[in-house]
Amino acid sequence: MGLFSRRKRHAAWDRGSTREDIKHLEEFTHSRTGVEAYLEPVTMATETTVVLVAADGEWTRRRVESPSEAADLTRKWGIPLYDTQKVGYPPRMREWTERNKRERGTL
């Protein structure tokens, strides 16, 4: 294949989810209020990921094995799951990030 080949290589250097990833997501869900999950699609750099966003906008991102695993986990935890390609991200997520950058002086 040439340098500018059109052959798609999805997430060649990425890894799947681990127990630690799932544990982190579960702990985030149970330690914060108003948590919602946002499913992110596979990209050239990563496999499927889930972003959890709390009511105050705090968020975390981790890998999951598949969209169906994300659906199973969020159903088990009793939180809604949204597709970022359809609904985007909630404004409170961006607001939380900006607020924290200002507080740390990294803006």
Q: Does residue 11 sit within a domain? A: no
Residue with tokens 């294949």: 1
Q: What is the pTM of this model?
A: 0.81
Q: Is residue 14 part of a domain?
A: no
Question: Is 2 within a domain?
Answer: no
Q: Which domain does 64 fall in, by range?
A: 19-104
Contact 73, 64 (CB under 8 A): yes
Contacting residues for 66 by C-beta, under 8 A, at least 6 apart: 48
Residue 13 lies in a domain: no
Summarize pLDDT for 32-89 with one digit per residue, the tens: 999 999 999 988 888 899 999 999 999 999 999 999 999 999 999 999 999 999 999 9
Number of separate domains in the chain:
1
